[in-house]
């Protein structure tokens, strides 16, 4: 299996989030994942969330990495997004009230990614998430609930809202461009 890895240095500046989105979109497009493909739209949202967290919560430089794994014949089958920063503080999911403008980033990652997690990286940490790609004409992607309890890939599994300690189910989570978030006639959408 072929893996293409590309990375971008991120300065601790909120303007870097837009630059990271543009950079990721160009890399995806260059690997055959179109802008209108649900995988691209979801991945760009995940880039926004993880880079924003690194910039806002650490105030330190970070590195954004995309790892594109080949399924067959050079067609991308899985995308892994990693953000490495210099802060050893672990990611801390929050329970945002309906009127708060922040605090939902990790809940979005949990619902939209097929898998996600984090690990210590030197003096800092690496936060990662993965998305499986279903290409027309192939059998489904991974099924079941991701390692963190998040959404499954298109083609199987159960989607459950993220629940964090001392919180009720997370609300207001957008099912942005992710048709895998429709199960048994129920759709998860922004409220």
**Total tally of structural domains belonging to the chain:** 1
Q: What is the pLDDT of residue 37?
A: 87
Q: What is the pLDDT of residue 54?
A: 93
CATH number, domain of 90, equals: 3.30.565.10
Please report, rounded to a whole number, the percentage of residues in the chain having pLDDT higher than 70: 67
Q: What is the pLDDT of residue 73?
A: 66
Residue 61 CA to its chain's centroid (Å): 20
Q: What is the pLDDT of residue 183?
A: 36
Confidence of residue 136 (pLDDT cuts 50, 70, 90): low
Q: What is the pLDDT of residue 133?
A: 81
pTM value is 0.70
Enclosing domain of residue 28:
3-187
Q: Are 80 and 115 in contact (CB under 8 A)?
A: no
Averaged pLDDT score across all residues of the chain: 74
**Res 81 pLDDT > 80:** yes
**Res 167 pLDDT > 50:** no
Which residues fall within 8 angstroms of residue 26, CB to CB, at 6 or more apart?
none
Put the strands of the sheet holding 75-85 in their side by side order: 3-10, 62-72, 75-85, 124-132, 115-121
Helices marked H in the chain: 16-30, 38-58, 105-112
Which residues fall within 8 angstroms of residue 12, CB to CB, at 6 or more apart?
55, 58, 59, 60, 61, 62
The predicted-structure confidence for 85-134, as pLDDT tens digits, reads as follows: 999 999 888 777 777 777 788 888 999 999 999 999 999 999 999 998 86
> 124-132 and 115-121 as β-strands: parallel, antiparallel, unpaired?
antiparallel
Mean pLDDT, residues 1-8 taken together: 86
Q: What is the pLDDT of residue 67?
A: 92
Which residues fall within 8 angstroms of residue 68, CB to CB, at 6 or more apart?
3, 4, 5, 6, 27, 31, 76, 78, 79
Q: How many CA atoms lie within 13 A of 88 on its CB side?
A: 2
């Amino acid at each position: 299996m072929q893996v293409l890895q590309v990375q971008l240095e991120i300065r601790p500046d909120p303007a870097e989030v837009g630059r990271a989105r543009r950079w990721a979109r160009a890399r995806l497009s260059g690997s055959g994942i179109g802008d209108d493909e649900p995988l691209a739209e979801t991945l760009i949202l995940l880039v926004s969330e993880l880079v924003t967290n690194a910039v806002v919560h650490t105030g330190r430089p970070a590195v954004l990495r995309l790892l594109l794994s080949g399924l067959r014949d050079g067609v991308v089958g899985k995308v892994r997004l990693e953000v490495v920063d210099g802060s050893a503080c672990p990611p801390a999911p929050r329970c945002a009230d309906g009127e708060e403008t922040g605090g939902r980033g990790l809940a979005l990652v949990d619902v939209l990614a097929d898998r996600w997690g984090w690990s210590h990286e030197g003096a800092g940490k690496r936060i990662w998430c993965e998305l499986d790609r279903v290409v027309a004409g192939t059998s489904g992607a991974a099924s079941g609930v991701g390692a963190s309890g998040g959404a499954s890939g298109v083609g199987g599994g159960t989607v459950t809202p993220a629940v964090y300690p001392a919180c009720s189910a997370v609300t207001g989570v957008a099912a942005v461009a992710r048709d895998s978030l429709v199960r048994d006639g129920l759709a998860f959408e922004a409220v």
